Amino acid sequence: MARSTAGDRSGGGRKRAVPRSPRAVKQRLESLADAGVLDLPRAKPGLDDPEETPTADAASLPARAIPPASVSPKAPAKRGAKVSDAASRVAALEILRTEVAGCRACVHLAEARTNTVFGSGNPAARLCFLGEAPGADEDASGEPFVGRAGQLLTKIIEACTLTRDEVYILNVLKCRPPENRRPEPEEVANCRGYFERQIEAIRPEFICCLGTSAAQSLLRTDETIGKLRGRWFDYGPATVICTYHPSYLLRNPAAKRDVWDDMQHLMARMGIEMPHKGPGG
């Protein structure tokens, strides 16, 4: 639960194959294990090192910033425990993915969708990006943030010296609202259990809310993104930061500087060394 001290909008029609039986889930887990997903790297070299010196000082956030819960350095784990932990996260996510694929709680959204858009990335990611809802490209592909806004998000992630495979990307809503309108409160309430359980399964140390809808939904607040930026929040054990949605940046390129500032604060808090230049403009 959040303590406030807070869509990718971007067409094709490929249907996503979703395992629907325990056996199918087991087969998917085994194939993921074969692909090495059970031993995913959680961070770049040095990220788990509490002695690592960040390049920017998170304490330079405005005075209204709320100190987050302290984040403990990872204790070294035995390989067996690591594999078991990763397997449980993957299993929990696959069960959820199957539930979402069959969900019709928002009948109008379920009838209009091509695919549900569950989320993608590292099941053991330190950092989750939470967006609003799928757009046309995402609905067509079944993957989050693949349209123009998604491409910009990818640039932002890469500018942070990370890759999409190292983070986890999800939306509040798993189905595309018509005409890319903002999600209705009832739709958010219907889908809340899914994104909350996703985050619970991944157990990220950090969550970055993209835009007003994501921030308000996660943090159960009615404050706008302009008021939520520049502050830290707690969501369970995770530290939360809020920034503008990439689709807003497409309409207002000047705001890229603000997002870059937010990312620098976030990376500093994560102990990730950042380049001085932003994601191209």
Residues near ligand SF4, by CB under 6 A: 100, 103-106, 109-110, 116, 173-175, 187, 190-191, 194
Nearest distance from C-beta of residue 204 to ligand SF4, angstroms: 20
Nearest distance from C-beta of residue 39 to ligand SF4, angstroms: 31
Nearest distance from C-beta of residue 89 to ligand SF4, angstroms: 20
Q: Considering the complex, state which of residue 122 and residue 190 has its C-beta at the smaller distance from ligand SF4.
A: 190
Q: Hey, which residues does 168 pair with through a beta bridge?
A: 121, 128
Q: Considering the complex, state which of residue 170 and residue 175 has its C-beta at the smaller distance from ligand SF4.
A: 175
Nearest distance from C-beta of residue 100 to ligand SF4, angstroms: 5
Nearest distance from C-beta of residue 106 to ligand SF4, angstroms: 3
Radius of gyration of the chain (CA): 18
Q: Considering the complex, state which of residue 191 and residue 266 has its C-beta at the smaller distance from ligand SF4.
A: 191
Q: Considering the complex, state which of residue 66 and residue 92 has its C-beta at the smaller distance from ligand SF4.
A: 92
Q: Considering the complex, state which of residue 193 and residue 236 has its C-beta at the smaller distance from ligand SF4.
A: 193
